[in-house]
């Protein structure tokens, strides 16, 4: 029983996130920061989000209006898009200090947390937890499956981003990442207001 809960939840979340903004965000962040640092931030964000989804479920979405969560997420994407474009070719300067571990983890945590708060995978996790709420083991299986699926999708994005560097100059990849962040932010704002 627990195995079927785990694998069903894992498959639902994994497939839902393939090619989604989370995976693309992980890819873009991996081009700017060391992968281990951003993965820690991403992993922590998903742990917090999935704990909230499992523990609070639908109540979380009643307490935090989706409009404001989406607005903050859109503004964060726009901010990081501008910052990424402004510093797209900064790595070519030897005078620029490398990002600190704390700033890399904080950036990854904030971007993923705000992008995923109330997103489809959090809703799926909450609904799976509600379906299996009669069993504590079932809820743990939902949490574990959802978290592992999101971590795996993020790692795939991170390593795909690292492979791009072999074929495309880093400066151009950073420009594309900045443009991608602006696009995500713009699309989110468009969906909110139009």
Give the residue-averaged pLDDT of 105-122. 84
pLDDT on residue 194: 87
Query: For 168, which DSSP code?
Result: S
Residue 13: closest CA among 138, 159, 116, 125 = 125
Query: What is the rounded average pLDDT for all residues in the chain?
Result: 79
- Per the model's pLDDT, the better-predicted residue between 175 and 177 turns out to be 175
For 100, other C-beta atoms within 10 Å of its C-beta total 11
Give the residue-averaged pLDDT of 48-61. 71
pLDDT on residue 58: 47
Give the residue-averaged pLDDT of 77-88. 79
The answer, as to whether pTM is greater than 0.95, is no
- Per the model's pLDDT, the better-predicted residue between 100 and 153 turns out to be 153
Contact 46, 116 (CB under 8 A): yes
pLDDT on residue 111: 87
Instruction: pLDDT band for 151, please (50, 70, 90 cuts).
Output: very high
Contacts of 66 by beta carbon, 8 Å cutoff, 6+ apart: 118
Range with top average pLDDT, 23-27, 39-43, 117-121: 39-43
Range with top average pLDDT, 1-15, 75-89, 114-128: 1-15
Residue 81 has pLDDT above 50, yes or no: yes
């Amino acid at each position: 029983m627990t195995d079927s809960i785990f694998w069903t939840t894992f498959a639902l979340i994994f497939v839902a996130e393939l090619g989604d903004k989370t995976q693309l965000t992980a890819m873009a962040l991996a081009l700017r920061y060391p992968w281990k640092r951003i993965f820690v931030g991403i992993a922590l964000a998903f742990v917090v989000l999935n704990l909230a989804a499992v523990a609070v479920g639908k109540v979380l979405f009643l307490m935090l209006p989706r409009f404001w969560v989406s607005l903050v997420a859109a503004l964060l994407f726009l901010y990081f898009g501008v910052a990424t474009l402004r510093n797209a070719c900064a790595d070519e300067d030897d005078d620029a200090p490398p990002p600190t571990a704390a700033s890399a983890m904080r950036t990854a945590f904030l971007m993923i947390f705000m992008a995923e708060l109330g997103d489809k995978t959090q809703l799926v996790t909450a609904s799976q937890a509600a379906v299996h709420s009669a069993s504590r083991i079932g809820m743990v299986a939902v949490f574990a499956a959802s978290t592992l699926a999101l971590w795996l999708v993020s790692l795939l994005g991170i390593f795909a981003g690292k492979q791009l560097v072999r074929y495309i100059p880093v400066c151009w990849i950073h420009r594309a990442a900045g443009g991608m962040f602006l696009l995500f932010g713009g699309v989110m704002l468009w969906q909110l207001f139009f």
